[in-house]
C-alpha cells in the first residue's frame, strides 16, 4: 500500500511541477513579447549612418559609440556585414538597405532575393535586431528607369522572408523623396505624382497588407531654400511662432507650427486619395546641414543645432501632427557622421551630428530627452533656462519648480552661494537643474512648458555648484535606480505572482504527501 501511495505521489508531484514551470515560463515569454511590441509602438529618433567618411571608426567601436550615445535605432544604406555582426546581442534596432544597383538582380530573380535574405538577414537575426529592409532609395524620383522593377523586388524579398518565417518581425518598404508629393501645401490638397500610380497603388496595398510603413525622406531645409520669403525660417526650425505666422490649411483650418508636420500630413492625404488610410508614415531621413557654400547661407551650426534639437523634442514629446495628433512618426536623423568624402555642394559633406572621429560637430540642446544624443560620454547633463524667454514666463516656471516641483531652491535664497547674480534666469536655471537631477534626468523632466533645455556645459560658477555637478549620494542613487526600473514594475509583479503561485502549489503538495502516508 505504501508503494502505491508513493507512486501516486510521484505522479502528482511531476504534473504539478511541470504545470507550474510551464505557466511561469509562458508568463515571462508573454512579458518579453509585450515589451518588444511596446518598444515598436513608441515613437523614437534614430540616425542614418553613411560611410563616405575618411578614417571611419571600426564596426566594434561604432557600436560602442552608439551605446554610449543611447542611440537605439539606426539605418544603414547597405547591409554591412561587419556592422551587423558587431550589433549582435545589443538592443540596437537596424534598418538594412538594398542599394539601387542591386534592385535589378533581386527584382528579376526570386532565387537572388532568397540568397540576399539568407546572407544579410537570416544569418544575423535575431541576435542582431533587424527591424526593416529599405528596398532602394528614392527610386521613383532619382532612378525612374528602375520603377518597373521596384515592386517585383519588394515582393520577392517579402516572399523570401515568409519562407524564412521572418515576415512578421521584419518589415519591407522603400524610402521616397518628398518630391513624390505634388502640391504639398496646404496638405489637404496634396496628391502623389499621378504618373507614378502604376507603382504607388500596388505599393500602398502591399504596405497595408503587411502592416509596413510608408518611408519618406523629408527635409524642411530644402522646402525653406526653395520657398524663401514664403516659408518662415522659424517655421522650418520648429521655433515657437505667433499665431499670425502659423501656416493655416484653408480647407481644414488646421494650424501648422512647423514644416515637417505639414509634409507628413501631405503624405497621409496623398495616401487617402488612393484609398489607403491604415499605413503609418516613417520619416527615414530628416536633418539640417551645419555648413554650406555662399549659395547656402542658412546651412549653419546654429540652425542645424536648433533643427535637430527641436526635432528630437518634437518626436519624444509624442506631438503627432495637426491632422493625426494620435500618431507621432518616428524619425531617422540624417546623419550620424559628416561624410567628408562627399562631393559638391559643400553642404553634402556637412549633415553629420559628429565628425568621423566621433567628436561632436555641435552640442545638441535637447529639452526633455534624457541622455539621448547628449554628445557627452561622461553622461553629465544639466537643465537650464533657455535664452530669450521673458521674465514673467520664467518666474512662473521657477515658482512651480520650487513649489509643487519640490526642487531644492535653498541655494538661491539671499546670502546663499547661488543667489548672485540675482536675476530670474539664473535662479530658474538652478531650480530647473535641481528638479531635473532629482527626477533622475528622466524624459520630460527638463521642459517646463518649453522654457528649459538640456546642456552638457556645467553651468556652475564661483562657489555656486549646480546639483548636476555634485557627487550623487546613496539616497540619490536609490531614487535614480527606482526611476530607471519603474518601467519593469509590471514584469516584476508578474514574475513575483508566479513565485507565490509555485510556493502555494508546494504547500499543497506537502499537504498531499502527509495525507498519503497517513493512509
Helix axes of 489-518 and 2-41: crossing angle, nearest 10 degrees: 170
Question: CA-CA distance, 206 to 195, in Å (whole number)?
Answer: 19
What number of other Cβ atoms are within 10 A of residue 450's Cβ?
A: 16
CB of 235 within 8 A of CB of 195?
no
Measured at the CA of 498, the angle between CA 496 and CA 502, to 5 degrees, comes to 115
Q: How many CB atoms lie within 10 A of CB 173?
A: 23
Q: Tell how far CA 295 is from the center of its chain.
A: 32
Q: Give catalytic status of residue 416 as yes or no.
A: no
Q: Which residue has the cell 559643400?
A: 346
Rounded Cα distance between 214 and 265, Å, is 12
42 is catalytic: no
What is the rounded distance in angstroms from the CA atom of residue 367 to the CA atom of residue 387? 13
Catalytic residue among 42, 211, 226, 285: 285
Query: Quick one: which of 352, 435, 301 has its CA closest to 48?
Result: 352
Q: Which residues are CB-contacts of 462 (< 8 A; sequence separation ≥ 6)?
A: 417
Choosing from 42, 138, 348, 420, which is the catalytic residue?
138
- CA angle 477-483-488, nearest 5°? 125
Q: Are 135 and 160 in contact (CB under 8 A)?
A: no
Phi, psi dihedral angles at 108 (to 5 degrees): -95, -10
Report the interhelical angle of 147-163 vs 110-117 (nearest 10°): 60
Q: Which helix or strand (DSSP H or E) is residue 49 part of?
A: strand 45-49
Whole-number Å distance between alpha carbons of 209 and 173: 12
C-alpha cell at 46: 534614430
Range list of β-strands (E), 234-287: 247-248, 255-256, 281-286
CA–CA dist 31, 15 (Å, integer):
24
Residue in this structure with the C-alpha cell 526642487, named with its chain if needed: 407
Indicate the Cα dihedral angle 445, 446, 451, 456, nearest 10°: 180
Burial of 492-503, coded b for 16+ CB within 10 Å and e otherwise, reads: eebeeebeeebe
Residue 255 · residue 192 · CB < 8 Å: no
Q: Map residue 181 onto helix, strand or coil.
A: strand
Active site residues: 138, 285
Amino acid at each position: 500500500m505504501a508503494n502505491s501511495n508513493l507512486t501516486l505521489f510521484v505522479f502528482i508531484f511531476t504534473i504539478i511541477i511541470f504545470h507550474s514551470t510551464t505557466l511561469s515560463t509562458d508568463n515571462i515569454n508573454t512579458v518579453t513579447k509585450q515589451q518588444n511590441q511596446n518598444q515598436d509602438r513608441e515613437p523614437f529618433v534614430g540616425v542614418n549612418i553613411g560611410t563616405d567618411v575618411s578614417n571611419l571608426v571600426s564596426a566594434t567601436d561604432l557600436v560602442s559609440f552608439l551605446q554610449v550615445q543611447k542611440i537605439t535605432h539606426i539605418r544603414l544604406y547597405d547591409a554591412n556585414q561587419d556592422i551587423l555582426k558587431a550589433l549582435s546581442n545589443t538592443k540596437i534596432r537596424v534598418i538594412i538597405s538594398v542599394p539601387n544597383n542591386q534592385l535589378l538582380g533581386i527584382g528579376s530573380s526570386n532565387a537572388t532575393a532568397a540568397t540576399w535574405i539568407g546572407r544579410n538577414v537570416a544569418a544575423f537575426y535575431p541576435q542582431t535586431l533587424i527591424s526593416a529592409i529599405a528596398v532602394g532609395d528614392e527610386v521613383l524620383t532619382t532612378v525612374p528607369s528602375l520603377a518597373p522593377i521596384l515592386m517585383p523586388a519588394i515582393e520577392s524579398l517579402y516572399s523570401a522572408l515568409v519562407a524564412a518565417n521572418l515576415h512578421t518581425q521584419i518589415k519591407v518598404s522603400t524610402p521616397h523623396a518628398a518630391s513624390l508629393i505634388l502640391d504639398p501645401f496646404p496638405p489637404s490638397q496634396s496628391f502623389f505624382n499621378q504618373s507614378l500610380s502604376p507603382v504607388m497603388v500596388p505599393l500602398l496595398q502591399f504596405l497595408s497588407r503587411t502592416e509596413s510603413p510608408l518611408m519618406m525622406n523629408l527635409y524642411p531645409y530644402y522646402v525653406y531654400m526653395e520657398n524663401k520669403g514664403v516659408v518662415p525660417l522659424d517655421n522650418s526650425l520648429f521655433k515657437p511662432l505667433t499665431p499670425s505666422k502659423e501656416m493655416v490649411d484653408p480647407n481644414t483650418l488646421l494650424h501648422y507650427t512647423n514644416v515637417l508636420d505639414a509634409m507628413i500630413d501631405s503624405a497621409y492625404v496623398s495616401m487617402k486619395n488612393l484609398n489607403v488610410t491604415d499605413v503609418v508614415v516613417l520619416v527615414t531621413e530628416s536633418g539640417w546641414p551645419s555648413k554650406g557654400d555662399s549659395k547656402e547661407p542658412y546651412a549653419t551650426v546654429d540652425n542645424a543645432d536648433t533643427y535637430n534639437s527641436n526635432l528630437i523634442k518634437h518626436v519624444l514629446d509624442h506631438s503627432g501632427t495637426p491632422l493625426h495628433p494620435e500618431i507621432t512618426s518616428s524619425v531617422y536623423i540624417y546623419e550620424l557622421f559628416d561624410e567628408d568624402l562627399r562631393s559638391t555642394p559643400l553642404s553634402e559633406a556637412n549633415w553629420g551630428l559628429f565628425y568621423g572621429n566621433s567628436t561632436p560637430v555641435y552640442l545638441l540642446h535637447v529639452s526633455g530627452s534624457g541622455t539621448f544624443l547628449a554628445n557627452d560620454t561622461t553622461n553629465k547633463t544639466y537643465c537650464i533656462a533657455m535664452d530669450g524667454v521673458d521674465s514673467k514666463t520664467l518666474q512662473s516656471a521657477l515658482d512651480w519648480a520650487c513649489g509643487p516641483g519640490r526642487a531644492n531652491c535653498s541655494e538661491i535664497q539671499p546670502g546663499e552661494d547661488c543667489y548672485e547674480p540675482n536675476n530670474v534666469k539664473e535662479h530658474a536655471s538652478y531650480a530647473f537643474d535641481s528638479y531635473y537631477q532629482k527626477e533622475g534626468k528622466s524624459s520630460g523632466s527638463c521642459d517646463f512648458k518649453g522654457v528649459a533645455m538640456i546642456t552638457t556645459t556645467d553651468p556652475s560658477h564661483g562657489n555656486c555648484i549646480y546639483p548636476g555637478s555634485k557627487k550623487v549620494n546613496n539616497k540619490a542613487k536609490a531614487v535614480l535606480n527606482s526611476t530607471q526600473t519603474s518601467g519593469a514594475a509590471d514584469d516584476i509583479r508578474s514574475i513575483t505572482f508566479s513565485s507565490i503561485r509555485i510556493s502555494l502549489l508546494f504547500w499543497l503538495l506537502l499537504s498531499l504527501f502527509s495525507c498519503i502516508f497517513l493512509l
